[in-house]
A = this chain, B = another copy of it.
Amino acid sequence: MRYFVAVAEELHFGRAADRLGIAQPPLSRTIAQLEQRLGVALLTRTSRKVSLTEAGAVLLAEGRAILGAIAAAERRTRTVDRPSLVLAAKAGGSSELLAKLLDAYAAEPGAIAVELLLCEAHTRQPLFDGRADVAILHEPYDSTAGLDAEALYSESQYAVLPNSHPLAGAAQLRMADVIDLPELARWPEPDGTYLPGPGVEVHNLTQLFQMIALGRAVAVMPEIVRTGLLEGLVAVPVVDAPKVTTVIAWPPHSRSRAVADLVRVAMGFS
């Protein structure tokens, strides 16, 4: 499965073999055996190009889930003796909520040390590969698919603009006003790639704010960013943007009491 995922991601047997630390021929053979076992073609190969069939695309998604589950199982089993709780959160997010949550949990009887895993984006992945036990994420930007989750609170969204921007003076905006702006910043997809489009590619808040200050980008973001906004930036409410819901999420078969306690404490806030 590792082999197939590598080839499906690289779309190149040589590079995939390299990444796996094996030679190319056994890799070719293994994939061929897999296809035979399943009775389905997973890849279409010409001698110049490799591409996924529909079945291959399905298996790539399923295979990633499998590999994640295996990695998670390994980590969780290994660390069951030394109880620790890893909380994944977005770096630069609402540190106020986080601080309150950590304080409140620490005051609980039986609380254990909480380690923070700050991610640039996409706090889901660490839950699937076992690096984290709980995560704070934000719907609809992050999906809770495959996770158990509880909503903590919702907030409306604001367009963040340089104050030199034509729309900066508006009292309020609508999605239609901003959705087609060519400067709209692009965030990475869960796999780290960017969808094609005109706007600049950013991968963290600092970078984004700098880009906006330079007039190179605009963004639509939750209310929280208004606190501590840089000089020269304005936040204009976008009245019909979907609400952003902050949720606390954990893997469905979590058996940890610490996770349950933390979630209970978090829900006490809402």
Contacts and interface: CB of A to CB of B under 8 A. Distances in A.
B255 A57 contact: yes
B55 A66 contact: no
Contacts of A243: none
Interface string A32-75: 00000011101000000000001101110111011001101110
A77 interface: yes
Give the secondary structure class of A's interface: helix
A252 B146 contact: yes
Given A80-B55, A81-B55, A145-B148, A255 B39 contact: no
B255 A74 contact: no
A40 B80 CA distance: 9
A43 B143 CA distance: 37
B145 A65 contact: no
A76 interface: yes
B62 A253 contact: yes
Given A146-B253, A252-B145, A253-B146, A80 B66 contact: no
Contacts of A143: 252
**10 tightest CB-CB pairs across the interface, nearest first?**
A62-B73, A145-B252, A146-B252, A59-B77, A55-B80, A61-B253, A66-B69, A58-B80, A55-B77, A145-B148
A70 B4 CA distance: 13
Give the interface centre of A69, A72, A148 by most chain B CB atoms within 10 Å.
A69
A38 B80 CA distance: 11
Interface string A68-112: 011011101110110000000000000000000000000000000
Contact of A54 (B58, B62, B63, B80): B80
Interface in A112-132: none
A76 B76 CA distance: 27
A77 B146 contact: no
A1 B70 CA distance: 10
Nearest to A130: B62
6 contacts: A38-B74, A39-B78, A55-B78, A62-B77, A65-B73, A65-B253
A65 B59 contact: no
Interface in A237-270: 252-253, 255
A148 B149 CA distance: 11
B38 A58 contact: no
Contacts of A69: 62, 65-66, 69
B146 A40 contact: no
A237 B80 CA distance: 45
A257 B156 CA distance: 31
Give the interface centre of A58, A63, A146 by most chain B CB atoms within 10 Å.
A58
